[in-house]
């Protein structure tokens, strides 16, 4: 056997499905190699405690009757852990097999701490000239044969046979070098991290870093989560915040989405709900405000600061902003006054009567002193505010944006109303419920800006937009 690592266990599972959280193991097989010598070979059917779907029975040949009297995973945990002791966990698409073993052990309150190596990734390194690296592709590529495909020990033997071929074709040194390279590629991983980075899918979604506390250290999003997580770790020697996270992190959780929009929406919501320690942006706004311009040019002050949680959504297009605080709103208005020579008295930025001081030094065109007509002053202000104007909701009721990921097969439909994110659904029943439900909507500035950019950009195709009709809701 190839001595690519001092000790490793090639393992394969058969399961009731592809979800490591909800599905269960039906068969397990493992072969341990120490210093190039096979030292243990072990396999067993496993009673999953649930029915095996007909499709899976057809694929694997493992039936409910076959596993009825088989041991449970709990009964097999001890010999499995003994077999893995001090060895590298090796599997073809190791995230799948490791994820199932991890979840089964977690149900027994047992933590699995073991290095992993994926032979799919190893195949890509050793044979970069080939496209396919699944077991069927490897069988065809190297002229290998098996009578037990989709049975645990049969697939383990295929992996072992392929490793032997690679050893003969490329040499023991190349095989060991690439295997060690895959293990060392995780050298940047924090030493106290309990979550195997290989378990994190390289798909769109949101990842959460946790330390000892139940409050996340950090929440982030990416269209390639695993790669983004690794970039955090690799930057830890250069960025102080990343170094602090590196020192504190213990585990990573993640939530997959169909695409970038879903990841952005979920990240914004989770940051506001969970208040992660190291997130500065996307925090919950304490009191969003906007400016309302009065119709009567003679009104003093000419603009009024309003809270967005007190505004009817239908009036959104008459407001200018929005601002995360009263101070930010006042600073923005003062900047406009200085730039365009508006009267600070008329705008309510200063108190007093008669001509303002700014008009005396030529920084106000004199509406307060009768030198500029009030309607002209208001018209100039309206033009200056135009670029800050909030947009009216352009739909008659709710609308949805469909995101589909052709690689994972996942489809998300994000439902919006009055610039607010109502729900993200995945099927027709959930969509109908989201359309019909009445609820109080909370305006969120980050969601508003994200959605405005999405709807006015060029990347949104018409088939991705769902017009869901009028279903009025109250706003807050």
Question: Which active-site residues does the annotation give?
Answer: 150
Q: CB 373: neighbour CB atoms within 10 A?
A: 11
Instruction: Go through 231-264 and write b for each residue having 16 or more CB atoms within 10 A of its CB, e for each that does not.
Output: ebbeebeeeeebeebbebbeebebbbbbbbbbbb
Whole-angstrom Cα Rg for the chain: 31
User: CA–CA separation, 220 vs 448, rounded Å?
Assistant: 19
Task: Please count the residues of the chain.
Answer: 476
User: CA–CA separation, 240 vs 116, rounded Å?
Assistant: 29
User: CA–CA separation, 189 vs 5, rounded Å?
Assistant: 20
Q: Decide: residue 156, CB within 10 A, 0-12 exposed, 13-18 middle, 19+ buried.
A: buried
Backbone angles phi, psi at 59, to 5 degrees: -70, -45
User: CA–CA separation, 312 vs 419, rounded Å?
Assistant: 12
Q: Where are the beta strands (DSSP E) in 184-262?
A: 205-210, 218-222, 251-256
């Amino acid at each position: 056997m190839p001595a690519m690592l001092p000790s490793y266990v090639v393992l394969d599972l058969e399961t009731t499905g592809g979800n490591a959280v909800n599905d269960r193991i039906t068969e397990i097989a493992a072969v341990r190699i120490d210093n190039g010598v096979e030292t243990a070979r072990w396999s067993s059917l496993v009673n999953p405690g649930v029915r095996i779907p007909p499709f899976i029975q057809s694929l694997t040949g493992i039936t409910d009757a076959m596993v009825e009297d088989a041991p449970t995973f709990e009964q097999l945990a001890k010999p499995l852990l003994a077999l893995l002791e001090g060895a590298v966990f090796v599997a073809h698409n190791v995230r799948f097999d490791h994820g199932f073993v991890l979840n089964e052990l977690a149900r027994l309150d047992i933590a699995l701490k073991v290095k992993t190596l994926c032979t799919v990734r190893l195949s890509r390194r050793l044979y970069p000239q080939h496209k396919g690296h699944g077991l069927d592709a490897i069988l065809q590529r190297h002229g290998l044969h098996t009578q037990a495909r989709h049975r645990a020990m049969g697939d383990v033997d295929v992996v072992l046979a392929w490793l032997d071929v690679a050893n003969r074709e490329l040499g023991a040194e190349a095989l060991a070098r690439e295997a060690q390279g895959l293990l060392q590629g995780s050298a940047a991983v924090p030493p106290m991290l309990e979550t195997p980075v290989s378990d994190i899918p390289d798909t769109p979604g949101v990842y959460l870093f946790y330390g000892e506390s139940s409050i996340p250290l950090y929440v982030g999003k990416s269209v390639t989560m695993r790669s983004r997580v690794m970039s955090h770790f690799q930057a830890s020697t250069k960025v102080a915040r990343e170094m602090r996270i590196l020192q504190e992190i213990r585990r990573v959780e993640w939530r997959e989405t169909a695409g970038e929009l879903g990841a952005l929406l979920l990240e914004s919501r989770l940051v506001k709900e969970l208040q992660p320690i190291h997130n500065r942006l996307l925090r919950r706004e304490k009191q969003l405000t906007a400016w309302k311009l009065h119709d009567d040019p003679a009104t003093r002050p000419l603009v009024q600061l309003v809270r967005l949680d007190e505004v009817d959504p239908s009036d959104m297009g008459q407001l200018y902003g929005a601002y995360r605080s009263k101070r930010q709103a006042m600073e923005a208005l003062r900047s406009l006054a200085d730039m365009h020579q508006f009267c600070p008295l008329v705008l309510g930025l200063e108190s007093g009567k008669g001509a303002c001081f700014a008009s005396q030094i030529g920084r106000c065109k004199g509406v307060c002193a009768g030198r500029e007509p009030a309607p002209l002053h208001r018209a100039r202000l309206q033009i200056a505010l135009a670029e800050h104007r909030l947009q009216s909701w352009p739909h008659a009721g709710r609308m949805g944006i469909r995101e589909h990921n052709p690689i994972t097969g996942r489809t998300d439909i994000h439902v919006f109303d009055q610039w607010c994110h109502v729900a993200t659904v995945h099927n027709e029943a959930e969509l109908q419920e989201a359309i019909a439900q009445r609820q109080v909507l909370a305006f969120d500035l980050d969601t508003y800006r994200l959605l405005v950019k999405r709807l006015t950009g060029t990347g949104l195709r018409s088939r991705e937009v769902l017009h869901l009709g009028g279903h009025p809701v109250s706003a807050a």
